[in-house]
Amino acid sequence: MTTTSTPTRILIVDDNAAIHADFRKVLATSRIDRLADDEQFLFGEPQACADSLEFEIDSAFQGEEGLEKVRQANSSGRPYTIAFVDVRMPPGWDGIETISRIWAEYPRLQVVICTAYSDYSWHEICERLTHRQNLLILKKPFDAIEVMQLAYALTEKARLADEVAQHVECLEQRIQERTLELQRSNHELQSQVVQREQAESHLHHLAFHDTLTGLANRQSLQNNLQASIEMARANSTEKFAVMFVDVDRFKSINDGLGHEVGDELLRAFSSRIEKSLRLDDLMNSAGTDALAGRLGGDEFVIILKRLRDSFDAVRVAERLLRILDRPYQIQGQTIHISPSIGVVNFDPSYQLASEMLRDADTAMYEAKLKGGDSFVVFEPSMQTAIQVRLSMEHDLRQAIITNQFWLAYQPIWSVQDLSLQGVEALIRWNHPEKGMIRPDQFIPIAEQTKLIVPIGEWVLRESCTQFGKWKRAGLAQTPKYISVNLSRVQLMQPGLVDVVDAILKESQMLGPELQFEVTESMIMEDPRQACAVISQLKSLGIRLAIDDFGTGHSSLACLHEFQLDVLKIDRSFVKQMNEGTTHPALLNAIVRLAENLGLECVAEGVEERDQLDQLGVMGCHRVQGYLLGKPKSNADFVSEYLMAPCLSQSTASEPTNQAISSASMVFDASTTPSASLHR
Ligand code: C2E
Ligand code: CA
Ligand code: CA
């Protein structure tokens, strides 16, 4: 038994005042020393001192009053621990009624029902009362010891019950705390899971999308294309195509207008691709599905799936070309760009995505070679052309290193007196295995690979060196100038003017002794830049000729602006001179144009005497062509033209060499165009 300092509150409910007195007497004298003996007798060992234990006793004489007291005690925070309730309490509620009412409100109250033999049976009591674990029966007339024992035992029981209740409450509180804690961590976990999922989906997006345009990236395109190939290989009815789209001259936009504009342009370009595919009638009606992506830089790829036939891709490409061609408004400026598109249709020989991409790229490259702003459908022969180009590129590099190039010189004559005026330097390539390769075959590749820059510089230096040597050799004839062909890449190459200046000085040449030949299309591609370079070249005193005139896109206004000196009429006009009536008229018009612009006019490709005569009548100043001299090696050129007197002075009876003799056969004194035909 443990000690407690607060007294146990006991309520006696009995209609008999004497009973109340008895209870008080018994419980008020409840000292442990009186009980100790009994307890030792009952429990077999001496008990701890419980002197402090006291009972606070209240009385109620009717059931209703008892209930009221229980209520008050509870609301005051000091509830009763035990109630001794009499069974019979006329005129009010009997004990059973009272107990059941009290328990209805306070079920934890320990109740001792005080009854005589003749009252309710245990069975009846059980039937009427519910909380029987809190019920004891004290038979009347009761014994003081019994009352004491009940009071102590029930006090202890209540204390233990309280302790248990507190313990339970404490446990419940801890459980609640733990539950809250768990709920919190659960919530945190859930939000971490959500964050993780978001991060994962973001990573997934990054892994398969291009950051600049939001289109599929290289990886995603490759995966998708590989899957399409496998599907089409498994199902022969499945048709699809790949388009390789590249922006023409994007680099010059990026360099010229800055990367920010370049990026924005790529975004605008890609969104047009997407929109065009989405709104394509053909694709929508045929149920065609498309995936657009960016490989990197200005290269885009479109996979067109579920096509009906191989022409579908062509139709899509045609439409795409139209849409991508329209001007772009970027940061307040209007920019014109065009795409080059390569198309490849699937066939079962393809196994890998890289193979289809390679061929689409090849077709795109062909579109670029055509001048861009077009599309080309891949054909296997293109692959061989590529191989040829690649091997030629390799050979060109070798040719530069091992000096396989040499120059041929072709004379340019005055129509009036057939005197030697100038000379055009023309490159020749003597390939160690393939023999002579024509400039038409290798110059375009040298331009594409930019190898034309070192090659062109060599041509210029060699021409000028040679011209300087001729000048100093004291020959019978010396051309007034040497004409060198300049490629577009060279014209746009920074530092060209410095190189030219240095070479002129090295070879002790005067500016007007050098002539550059450029084509109209070369200038028209970037007139501003071309104009800037040309005016710098002009400031060195160099002559400028427009080559192959009439074959490119002419802009007559530009002809005037470009400070030209010479207009070279393309040989196709000369060739067609005798065919029909329009060609001579055209030729005549060009000669007139040159005259009006104050330009020297040179006709190229003069092969026949009749052509020369007619050009003379038209008033063309100079001629160049097989009739008067083919391009020759330096040695031949020197011996045939420079060491000999002027053609006009030679006669058929005095051939100095074969060239002059052949020329003089045409140009003997009797057949030389009369002076009256010339200016
Ligand atoms: P081009 O500038 O129009 O040069 C004239 C071409 O016509 C030369 O061909 C020349 O041999 C040829 N030709 C001259 N007279 C006649 C004729 O009476 N009949 C015919 N049928 N042809 C004649 P070539 O030497 O094969 O050069 C072809 C082109 O290659 C040149 O055309 C020029 O555009 C380019 N080229 C030649 N050398 C160089 C060079 O050093 N640098 C650059 N960038 N291009 C060059
Ligand atoms: Ca030329
Ligand atoms: Ca020409």
CATH classification of the domain holding 243 = 3.30.70.270
State whether 420 and 364 are in the same domain. no
- Residue nearest atom 33 in ligand 1 by C-alpha distance: 485
Atom of ligand 1 nearest to the CA of 439: 30
Residue 561: what pLDDT?
A: 79
Does residue 188 lie within any of the structural domains?
no
Give distance in angstroms: CA of 278 to centre of ligand 1: 49
State whether 297 and 360 are in the same domain. yes
State whether 360 and 494 are in the same domain. no
- Residue nearest atom 25 in ligand 1 by C-alpha distance: 426
Beta strands in 78-204 (DSSP E): 82-86, 110-115, 135-139
Alpha helices in 547-654 (DSSP H): 556-561, 571-575, 582-597, 609-618, 634-637
Give distance in angstroms: CA of 548 to centre of ligand 3: 4
List all residues whose CB is within 6 A of at least one atom of ligand 1: 410, 426-427, 438-440, 443, 456, 459, 485, 487, 517, 547-548, 571, 604-607, 624-626, 631
Residue 67: what pLDDT?
A: 97
Q: Total domain count for the chain?
A: 3
User: Largest Cα–Cα distance of the chain, in whole Å?
Assistant: 180
Pocket test for ligand 1, best of 426, 445, 463, 549 (most atoms within 8 A of CB): 426
Six-digit token string for 575:
């060739």
Burial (0-12, 13-18, 19+ Cβ within 10 Å), 19: buried
Give distance in angstroms: CA of 257 to centre of ligand 3: 34
Residue 559: what pLDDT?
A: 75
- Tens of pLDDT along 94-134? 999 999 999 999 998 999 999 876 667 778 888 888 878 88
Q: Which amino acid is at 661?
A: S
Give distance in angstroms: CA of 479 to centre of ligand 3: 19
Give distance in angstroms: CA of 375 to centre of ligand 1: 30
Among residues 349, 378, 407, the one where a domain terminates is 378
State whether 492 and 600 are in the same domain. yes
Does residue 158 lie within any of the structural domains?
yes
Nearest ligand for residue 410 CA: 1
User: What does the alpha-carbon distance between residue 578 and residue 600 come to, in Å, rounded to a whole number?
Assistant: 23
- Residue nearest atom 41 in ligand 1 by C-alpha distance: 427
Six-digit token string for 139:
């038979």
Atom of ligand 1 nearest to the CA of 487: 44
Burial (0-12, 13-18, 19+ Cβ within 10 Å), 238: middle
Does residue 224 lie within any of the structural domains?
yes
Give distance in angstroms: CA of 366 to centre of ligand 3: 25
Nearest ligand for residue 569 CA: 3
- Confirm if 266 and 213 have CB atoms less than 8 A apart: yes
State whether 369 and 465 are in the same domain. no
Does residue 226 lie within any of the structural domains?
yes
Give distance in angstroms: CA of 545 to centre of ligand 1: 14
Atom of ligand 1 nearest to the CA of 627: 18
Does residue 201 lie within any of the structural domains?
no
Give distance in angstroms: CA of 493 to centre of ligand 2: 19
Give distance in angstroms: CA of 628 to centre of ligand 2: 16
State whether 533 and 422 are in the same domain. yes
Give distance in angstroms: CA of 320 to centre of ligand 2: 38
Nearest ligand for residue 412 CA: 1
CATH number at residue 155: 3.40.50.2300
- Residue nearest atom 34 in ligand 1 by C-alpha distance: 485
User: What does the alpha-carbon distance between residue 259 and residue 7 come to, in Å, rounded to a whole number?
Assistant: 92
- Tens of pLDDT along 203-214? 988 889 999 999
State whether 369 and 425 are in the same domain. no
**What is the H or E stretch that residue 56 is in?**
strand 55-60
Residue 393: what pLDDT?
A: 94
State whether 258 and 140 are in the same domain. no
Atom of ligand 1 nearest to the CA of 447: 44
Handedness of CA 180, 183, 187, 192 (dihedral sign): positive
- Residue nearest atom 30 in ligand 1 by C-alpha distance: 439
Nearest ligand for residue 624 CA: 1
Residue 129: what pLDDT?
A: 85
Does residue 608 lie within any of the structural domains?
yes
- Residue nearest atom 24 in ligand 1 by C-alpha distance: 439
Least Cα distance to 439 among 635, 623, 601, 631 occurs for 631
Give distance in angstroms: CA of 519 to centre of ligand 3: 8
Residue 603: what pLDDT?
A: 97
- Residue nearest atom 45 in ligand 1 by C-alpha distance: 485
Six-digit token string for 510:
């005067």
State whether 373 and 451 are in the same domain. no
Does residue 198 lie within any of the structural domains?
no
- Residue nearest atom 8 in ligand 1 by C-alpha distance: 426
CA 176 to chain centre: 52
Residue 672: what pLDDT?
A: 30
Give distance in angstroms: CA of 580 to centre of ligand 2: 27
CATH number at residue 583: 3.20.20.450
State whether 50 and 155 are in the same domain. yes
Atom of ligand 1 nearest to the CA of 452: 44
Range of the domain at 477: 415-671
List of the chain residues with pLDDT < 70 = 1-5, 29-53, 117-119, 281-286, 554-555, 580-582, 646-679
Helices 452-472 + 380-401 axis angle, to 10: 40
State whether 104 and 249 are in the same domain. no
State whether 366 and 447 are in the same domain. no
Does residue 402 lie within any of the structural domains?
no
Among residues 378, 399, 427, the one where a domain terminates is 378
Least Cα distance to 537 among 488, 499, 487, 480 occurs for 499
Integer Rg of the chain from CA: 57
- Residue nearest atom 19 in ligand 1 by C-alpha distance: 605
- Residue nearest atom 21 in ligand 1 by C-alpha distance: 605
- Residue nearest atom 7 in ligand 1 by C-alpha distance: 605
Q: Is 668 left (phi over 0), alpha (psi -120 to 50) or beta?
A: beta
User: What does the alpha-carbon distance between residue 630 and residue 191 come to, in Å, rounded to a whole number?
Assistant: 86
Handedness of CA 537, 541, 547, 549 (dihedral sign): positive
Residue 562: what pLDDT?
A: 82
Neighbours of ion ligand 3 (CB under 5 A): 547-548, 604
